[in-house]
Structure 1
Amino acid sequence: MPIPVSPSSLAAFLAGRLLLEEEVPFPLSNSPQLQFISGISTKNQFYHCERCGSTKKERFAMFPCARCGKACPYCRHCLMMGRVSGCSRLVRWVGPEPLFEGDGTLHWSGQLSEGQAAASDAVIRAVRDNSDVLIWAVCGAGKTEVLFQGIEAALLADKRVCIATPRTDVVLELAPRLQKVFPDAKVTALYGGSLDRHSYSPLVVSTTHQLFRFSEAFDVMIVDEVDAFPYSYESTLQFAVQKARKPLSALIYLTATPNDTWQKECRLGKRPFVKIPARFHRHPLPVPKLEWGGNWRKAIEKGRLPRNIKEWAVKRLEENKQALLFFPHIDSMERALPLFQQLDPSIEAVHAEDPSRKEKVTFMREKKIPLLLSTTVLERGVTFPNIDVAVIGAEDDVFTESALVQIAGRAGRSADFPDGKVRFFHFGKTKAIEKAVAHIRQMNKEGREKGWLDR
């Protein structure tokens, strides 16, 4: 005998979501309030995954299916979320949306800078008019605070808001900040393994991957760090963002480093945008100092740190100044770690697959780690108030202009410590290095011209 379930419970579970039938823990009927969609369709003789949008031939394979008894295609691209096959069905709620409990009033007593206020007004207009806008703001400009009043306007108008970001670290940092300033509205955080996975709330902070499970859910879609990997390179993630929006909705992009195409569109007036070229604390962005690092890989392989890199690290330890040191690849970083630990055994290293990544970031915030070695996993989305920053091997291809600008932006973010130092150790200057430095200098110039910098 199936367990009876009320329409309100089913609506709260399914509203805005696009799930495999087997993901729904309730019995499903052929109700007009439910829509069933074939998991894989065929378009122009190509398979199309209705969940992630994949169409590339190499992302599909065949398997002997026990359900339909045939050789069945399935999508390999989003397999980690449960198999979507040719005979599986996706289900979504098309009935009335459930009502939200609580109140979306903003509880924040901070003051916006001139640049933040201009961007905040643009966000409010986009929410009100269901339009698009790019907020182009330097690292440390206070992009989160720029969103507060727009989110409040949306919540008070009974609109549902999603902030999507490519990285779990950003979700984990952003969700509690939003819950603090919107204490009467439920905020859910969605990422791999999240306990909020089946919660229904008016304000959602999600990795872009989790948006595969949504369809026409949000009245306001905010995409943070729109230039970041993997979102900027992966068309299915861009598809997921569009699929998760309602047909009539606002789309707000946030980034410090839009790509060349978007920058050109901004200059030509083809893309609505607001630029904030200065940090909220009115101090300029730290300009990286370039320094020859020699063949640093060879030195590390021989069991020694290049002299100037070692001196840079020792000086920070002597001054009790925390620092982030970025490496292009895990292998070179892990070879270097024991050499740095000879200077101080509490020095640590972190990368994307590190099972202790969250704990190490926490220890860094608690000042239990003096120097933290990192791959580009910490190039954005995390804030430490008083640090210096170095890049080891800045010439590597992994360090694009965008990555280097973001890395430099880790320093000097706090109003109490606005003067962090940034050093790019290189084995030959690249265009990316020169463009990153030019980008930072240009932003400082524009900030001074607007009168938004004190020096």
Structure 2
Amino acid sequence: MRFILENNRLIPEPLAKVQGKEAMPISCFEHLPSFPVHPHFSFSTELLSFLEGKQLLLDELPFPIELIHAHYEQGYVMYKKGITKTTKGYRCERCGNEEAHLFASFFCSRCQQPCPYCRKCITMGRVSACTPLIVSCIPVRGQMYDDALHWHGTLSSGQQSAAEAVVQAIEHNDQLLVWAVCGAGKTEVLFPGIHRALQLGKRVCIATPRTDVVLELAPRFKQVFPHLPVIALYGGSEDRGKTAPLVISTTHQLLRFYKAFDVMIIDEVDAFPYSVEPMLQYAAEKARKEPSSVIYLTATPNRQWQQDVKEGKRKAVTIPARYHGFPLPVPTFEWCGNWRKAVKKQSLPRNVLAWIHDRLVGGKQAFLFVPHIELLEKIVAILKKLNSNIEGVHAEDPARKEKVAAFRKGELPLLVTTTILERGVTVPNIDVAVLGAEDRIFTEGALVQIAGRVGRSAQYPSGDVRFFHYGKTKEMMAAKQHIEKMNKEAAKRGLLKTK
């Protein structure tokens, strides 16, 4: 949309009373005028509620431009540039993109000229040079909830220490890393902190890189906060456009928020794509109020963060033991020779086959992690000769959810998988093997997460973790040392069962 500047006011071209004045895309104006809030204006509660804590495109607002512009002139909303010019090219104000190759141009019917747009966040709607972002000028105010938490469980000693640290960080608008081993029960650790935030009238967002985690967390939080409005945001969510004191969202959906949350909790901070995508980190930062608290959750912080914690540069609390008090299963390394050569010959190393055979005979379910999809398909074909119910799953598999569900139900004896299942899938009594643990895709973090699939249930707290390899790597050694270090710290703090 083009705008006209008249008497230090921006006027959308369709609303201009006098035609013929020069209209320009919003990005062409050096300064965008704004106005003080007019206290006696009869504002639209529907519009302001829809915009609360958001930064949206005009096309995302189900309101007429006349109503939106009236709120602009009365100081209730403001127009922001979607694209700004920089010395190097352009910057997208929604996602922070400044990479020249991620901008393109098209001939725009709205501004009647070639119009640059951002390709980085195009899946969230097109932001172009003539696109205004609409932002509410009314600060987001929270409502106090004194008795929102209805949970009757108990926290372990390690969980309790972490929960207290989370409460303090929220009260003082601090940053905190919760470094909790796989199966520590980090979701429960958040309950007291979120409860305290709600008592203080703070708005809370739990952000995670993956949709399936949002779908898993939302019902859990609705159960323990039964009388609290809770919404879940992801691609295609029915809650889009709603507001709530507790929001559970994918990190991509944070692109639509602006100074909305007093507490930002980022789950799986080391996980793809958040860990490698500056756009998502920018979105999380933009969605926070000033001041606000940030709680990071992970079982596998990257090495820089680990070093920062060690040197006291990053506030952190560790939970080195699982909620059931048994030690983490430590991986065993087993050389298996040139396994890739064996796969080409439609076979697997003898010790790998023996490990799989033992699980099939013993009736114990297992994961077999492999580095790449093309290898997975060949390995599944080999293993189906042993048992036709063995299946494989990967990120591009259209039947992924059905296969994982069947595995959870015990219908599949063994599931061959890529690193797509290194997180999030919990089965009570399983063993895990990695074939080709020397492959570069198996980083320290990935191997720790894979090992963390085993022994999560109090009923079955142990199991076998086997790294089959064609040469040990630093990542393998670091993963084993990471697990052993956590077990040692847990024992030192008296968090492990003595029997």
Find the aligned partners of 1:147 and 1:168 in 2 and give their Cα distance. Answer: 19
Map 1:394-433 → 2, pairs under 5 A: 394-433=437-476
Tell whether 2:174 aligns with 1:131: yes
Which deviations, in whole Å up to 9, do the C-alpha atoms of 1:185-225 show, x marking residues without a partner?
A: 12222222222222222211111111111111111000111
For the structure 1 residues 58 and 210, does the alpha-carbon distance in structure 2 shift closer, same or farther, using more than 3 Å as the test? same
Following superposition, the deviation at residue 329 of structure 1 comes to: 1.1
How far, CA to CA, are the matches of 2:455 and 2:51 in structure 1?
44
Residue type of the alignment partner of 2:188:
E
Query: Where does residue 32 of structure 2 map in the other structure?
Result: none
Instruction: Pick from 402, 409, 431 the counterpart of residue 388 of structure 1.
Output: 431
Quote how far apart the aligned CAs of 1:436 are: 0.5
Q: Superposition pairs for residues 37-436 of structure 1, below 5 Å? A: 37-95=80-138, 97=140, 105-436=148-479
**Higher-RCO chain (CA-CA 8 Å, sequence separation at least 6):** 1
Compare 223-232 and 303-312 and name the one that shifted more: 303-312
2:88 maps to 1:21: no
Q: Which range moved further: 374-383 or 113-122?
A: 374-383
Contact 1:101 1:185 in 2 (8 A): no
Sort the Cα spacing of 1:187 and 1:104 in 2 relative to 1 into closer, same or farther, 3 A: farther
Cα shift at 1:173 = 1.6
Cα pair 1:10 1:26 within 8 Å, conserved = yes
8 Å contact kept, 2:82–2:133: yes
Q: 1:142 is aligned with what amino acid?
A: G
Unmatched 5+ stretches in structure 2: 1-41
Q: Secondary structure at the match of 2:276?
A: coil
Cα distance in 2 for partners of 1:15, 1:443 equals: 43
1:26 is displaced (CA, Å) by 1.9
Secondary structure at the aligned position of 1:73 is classed as strand
Letter in 1 for 2:177: L
Preserved CA contact (<8 Å) 1:100 1:201: no
Specify the structure having the higher radius of gyration (Cα): 2
Go from structure 1 to structure 2 and tell me whether the alpha carbon gap of 1:313 and 1:40 turns closer, same or farther (over 3 Å shift). same
CA gap 1:224/1:211 in 2 versus in 1, 3 angstroms = same
- Any conservation in 1 of the 2:205–2:264 contact (CA below 8 Å)? yes
Give distance in 2, aligned partners of 1:358 and 1:13.
33
Cα contact 2:434–2:466 (8 A) shared by 1: yes
**Cα separation, 2, equivalents of 1:351 and 1:372:** 10
Cα pair 1:104 1:184 within 8 Å, conserved: no
| Structure 2 CA distance for partners of 1:86 and 1:319, relative to 1, 3 Å | same
Deviation at 1:104, TM superposition (A): 6.0
Other structure's SS at 1:434 match: helix
Asked if the contact 1:12/1:98 (under 8 Å) is kept, the reply is no
Q: SS state of the match for residue 275, structure 2?
A: coil
Aligned-residue CA RMSD in angstroms?
Answer: 1.9
Separation in structure 2 between the aligned mates of residue 222 and residue 394 of structure 1, nearest angstrom: 32
Task: State the shift of 1:359 in Å.
Answer: 2.5
Percent identity over the alignment? Answer: 57
Residues 144, 200 of structure 2: 8 Å contact kept: no
1:7 aligned to 2:44?
Answer: yes
Structure 2 CA distance, aligned partners of 1:9 and 1:104?
28
Distance verdict in 2 for CA 1:257–1:144, change over 3 Å: same
Please, which runs of 5 or more residues in structure 1 have no aligned partner?
Answer: none
- Cα deviation 1:369-421 (Å, max 9, x = unaligned): 22122211111123222211111111111110011011111111111111021
Q: How many residues align?
A: 451
TM-score by length of 2: 0.87
Q: Which amino acid aligns with 2:293?
A: A
Structure 2 CA distance for partners of 1:229 and 1:99, relative to 1, 3 Å: closer
Contact 2:115 2:130 in 1 (8 A): yes
Q: What is the distance in 2 between the residues matched to 1:311 and 1:141?
A: 32
Change (3 A) 1:198 1:315: farther
TM-score (norm 1): 0.95
Equivalent residues of 2:143, 2:202 under 8 A apart? no
The equivalent of 2:27 in structure 1 is: none
In the TM superposition, residue 96 of structure 1 has moved relative to its aligned partner by 5.4
CA distance in 2: counterparts of 1:339 and 1:261, whole angstroms: 41
CA-to-partner distance for each residue in 1:324-379, whole Å, 9 max, x for gaps? 11111111111211222222222222222222222222222222222122211111
